[in-house]
């Protein structure tokens, strides 16, 4: 039932989320909340898929399309898209749902369905007034008119449960209904088609090669395909991050990074958002769709359980990105960045250790692998908590100038370290220019 009052207590409430794609207006809300709703919708669709009639039972079943005016089709579609269950359906599947709905007129005082009955249809009211009753007490009203339609009765189909309320017509009205067989057939068809498309794409991503067949299949079942219009904020710097993204189609622009990093674009096959999930820190950048995009989203729980075995690969790729973002390395190819990365060693520090000291001559560059540090200069704390994935000390690779800050381990810390002498040996071969880093707080 579309009304909160009529929803079964054991079921999530039906919540409105507008638009088949995430738009600029929607993104002004917390966008990842919309994606979390999409994951709820996926679980519901998967439940429908698992409870759908068998292939044998549906053998020969063909949904019958019912002609409708363009105005009615537009209203029905808009109404369905107010429910997150239908939001991430492919346009073709959503259109088929609209096409097969049948017209039904009702008279004043007619009962559309009764509390306790097994639900076999969902409804979209195009006109009329309706009362929602629970235990014979009115708890809500539904009003449909020229510019708005109202969806109701969908929860009983979603959960294969008895009706949670009675709906009666207060006036004559016009409805479109969708029976459970057509509904489950279309949802099952959509789920199967979407999974095939997702599996084909994910099989081309080298990052996932190390997953077992079981892990890969679970990933295909778990990710959610989320479309974005052009120029939509996917997440903002400082947001709490709970979603990992892989780009299926389109271009995503990363901006508002720390001053030592450059804004840049990511393309199909790239991924982003993993750092916040790996470190527990807020988003370190703002991600925006530069054009229409299709992203595969994975929530935190499944990221940890499925991609956990890829932690080392993700960490290496993260360090590759860090190296590529530093000005002295930004002209290197990916292959040359990999050569630089192989030259790093690993060093450990105990909580309270000074990793570098202000005024001393710098000889090493550090990337934090585990733990946190703080940065001080002239007795003032510049950064009280710098987590893993951050770096410091790169100016030591270019010159023997004194350190501008002191960096102290605030927990047990492990760092990837590049020594100046090692760097100088590979710098000539890779033709690394000695640019001056312009960070305001160079360490």
pLDDT digits (tens, 9 = 90+) for 214-232: 999 999 989 988 888 899 9
Please check the confidence at residue 27 and state whether its pLDDT lies above 50.
no
Q: Tell me how far CA of residue 293 lies from CA of 2, 253, 257, 290, in angstroms.
A: 30, 11, 21, 8
Residue 40 pLDDT grade (very low, low, confident, very high; cuts 50, 70, 90) = low
Please give the residue that has the higher pLDDT: either 221 or 170. Answer: 170
Do 316 and 401 sit in the same domain of this protein? no
Q: Does some domain include residue 197?
A: no
| Rounded average pLDDT over 296-308 | 89
Side-chain-side CA neighbours of residue 134 (13 Å): 13
pLDDT at 410: 96
Q: Domain boundary residue among 160, 187, 214?
A: 187
Same domain, 98 and 22: yes
Q: pLDDT value at position 20?
A: 42
- On whether residue 193 sits in a domain, the answer given is no
pLDDT tier, 275 (very low <50, low <70, confident <90, very high otherwise): confident
CATH of the domain at 255: 2.60.120.10
Residues 24 and 154 in one domain: yes
Q: In this predicted model, which residue has the larger pLDDT, 50 or 83?
A: 83
Question: Residues 6 or more apart from 192 whose CB is under 8 A from it?
Answer: 49
pLDDT at 61: 76
- pLDDT of 1: 37
Residues 87, 230 within the same domain: no
Mapping DSSP onto H, E and C, the string for 97-161 reads: HHHHCEEEEECCCCEEECCCCECCEEEEEEEEEEEEEECCEEEEEEEECCCCCEEECHHHHHHCC
Say how far residue 128 (Cα) sits from the centre of its chain: 38
**What is the reported pLDDT for 330?**
73
pLDDT of 17: 28
Q: Looking at the structure, do residues 30 and 123 belong to the same domain, yes or no?
A: yes
Would you say residue 30 lies in a domain? yes
Per-residue pLDDT tens digits for 101-146: 999 999 999 999 999 998 889 999 999 999 999 999 999 999 998 7
d(CA 72, CA 146): 10
Does the residue 439 lie in any domain? Answer: no
Most confident of 35-49, 93-107, 276-290: 93-107
pLDDT digits (tens, 9 = 90+) for 327-343: 677 777 878 888 888 88
Maximum Cα interatomic distance, the chain, rounded to a whole number of Å = 88
Indicate if 167 and 223 belong to the same structural domain.
Answer: no
Is 300 found in the same domain as 221? yes
* Segment of 18-27, 172-181, 323-332 carrying the highest mean pLDDT: 172-181
Note whether 234 and 252 are within 8 A (CB): yes
* CB 306, CB 218: distance < 8 Å: yes
Q: Give the pLDDT mean for 33-58.
A: 60
Compute the half-sphere exposure of residue 301: CA atoms within 13 Å on the CB side of its CA: 4
Number of compact structural domains in the chain: 3
List of residues 6+ apart from 236 with CB closer than 8 A: 256, 283, 286
Q: Which domain holds residue 360?
A: 334-430
Q: What is the pLDDT of residue 22?
A: 54
Give per-residue pLDDT as tens, 339-367.
888 889 999 999 999 999 999 998 899 98
CA separation for the pair 53, 46 (Å, rounded): 13
pTM, two decimals, is 0.64
- Higher pLDDT: 199 or 425? It is 199
Buried b (16+ CB within 10 A) or exposed e, 96-107: bbbbbbeeeebe
Of the three residues 135, 154, 187, the one that is the final residue of a domain is 187
Q: Is residue 230 part of a domain?
A: yes
Q: Are residues 277 and 238 in the same domain?
A: yes
Report CA 148 to chain centroid distance, whole Å. Answer: 30
Is a pLDDT exceeding 70 seen at residue 24?
A: no
Query: What are phi and psi for residue 221, nearest 5 degrees?
Result: -75, -25
Q: Tell whether the model's pLDDT for residue 194 goes beyond 70.
A: yes
- Does position 63 have pLDDT exceeding 60, yes or no? yes
Q: Are residues 258 and 177 in the same domain?
A: no
Average pLDDT over residues 385-409: 86
In a domain? residue 67: yes
End residue of a domain, out of 325, 350, 372? 325
Instruction: Evaluate whether 295 touches 247 at the Cβ level (below 8 Å).
Output: yes
Same domain, 15 and 99: yes
Find all residues with CB under 8 Å of 378, minimum gap 6, and list them.
358
- pLDDT level of residue 413 (50, 70, 90 thresholds): very high
Q: Are residues 412 and 355 located together in one domain of the fold?
A: yes
Contact 143, 126 (CB under 8 A): no
Q: Is residue 436 part of a domain?
A: no
Please give the Cα distance from 367 to 279 (Å, whole number): 14
Structural domain contains residue 367: yes
Residues 50 and 174 in one domain: yes
């Amino acid at each position: 039932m579309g009304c909160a009052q009529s929803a079964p207590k054991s079921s999530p409430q039906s919540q409105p989320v507008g638009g088949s794609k995430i738009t600029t207006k929607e993104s002004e809300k917390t966008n990842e909340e919309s994606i979390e709703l999409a994951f709820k919708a996926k679980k519901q669709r998967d439940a429908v898929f698992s409870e759908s009639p068998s292939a044998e039972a549906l053998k020969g079943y063909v949904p019958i399309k019912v002609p409708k005016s363009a105005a009615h089709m537009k209203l029905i579609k808009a109404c369905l898209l107010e429910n997150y269950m239908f939001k991430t359906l492919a346009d073709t599947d959503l259109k088929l749902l609209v096409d097969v709905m049948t017209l039904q007129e009702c008279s004043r005082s007619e009962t559309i369905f009764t509390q306790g009955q097994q639900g076999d249809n969902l409804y979209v009211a195009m006109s009329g007034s309706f009362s929602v009753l629970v235990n014979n007490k009115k708890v809500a009203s539904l009003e449909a008119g020229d510019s708005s339609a109202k969806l109701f009765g969908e929860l009983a189909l979603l959960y294969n449960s008895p009706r949670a309320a009675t709906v009666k017509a207060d006036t004559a009205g016009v409805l479109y209904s969708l029976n459970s067989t057509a509904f489950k057939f279309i949802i099952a068809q959509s789920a199967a088609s979407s999974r095939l498309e997702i599996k084909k794409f994910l099989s081309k991503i080298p990052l996932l090669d190390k997953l077992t067949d079981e892990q890969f299949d679970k990933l295909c079942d778990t990710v959610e395909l989320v479309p974005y219009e052009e120029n939509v904020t996917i997440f903002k710097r400082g947001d709490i991050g709970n979603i990992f993204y892989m780009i299926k189609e389109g271009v995503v622009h990363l901006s508002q990074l720390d001053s030592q990093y450059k804004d840049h674009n990511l393309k199909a096959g790239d991924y982003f958002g993993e750092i916040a999930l790996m470190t527990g820190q807020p988003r370190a950048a703002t991600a925006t769709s530069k054009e229409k995009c299709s992203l595969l989203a994975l929530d935190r729980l499944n990221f940890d359980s499925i991609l956990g075995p890829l932690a080392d690969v993700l960490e290496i790729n993260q360090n590759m990105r860090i190296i590529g973002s530093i000005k002295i390395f930004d002209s290197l190819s990916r292959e040359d960045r990999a050569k630089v990365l192989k030259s790093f060693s690993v060093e450990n520090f105990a909580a309270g250790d000074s990793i570098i000291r202000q005024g001393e001559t710098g000889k090493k560059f550090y990337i934090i692998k585990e733990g946190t540090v703080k940065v001080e200069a002239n007795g003032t704390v510049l950064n009280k908590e710098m987590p893993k994935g951050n770096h410091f000390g790169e100016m030591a690779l270019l010159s023997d100038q004194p350190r501008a800050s002191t960096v102290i381990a605030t927990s047990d810390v492990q760092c990837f370290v590049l020594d100046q002498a090692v760097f100088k040996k590979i710098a000539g071969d890779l033709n690394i220019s000695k640019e001056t880093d312009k960070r305001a707080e160079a360490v």
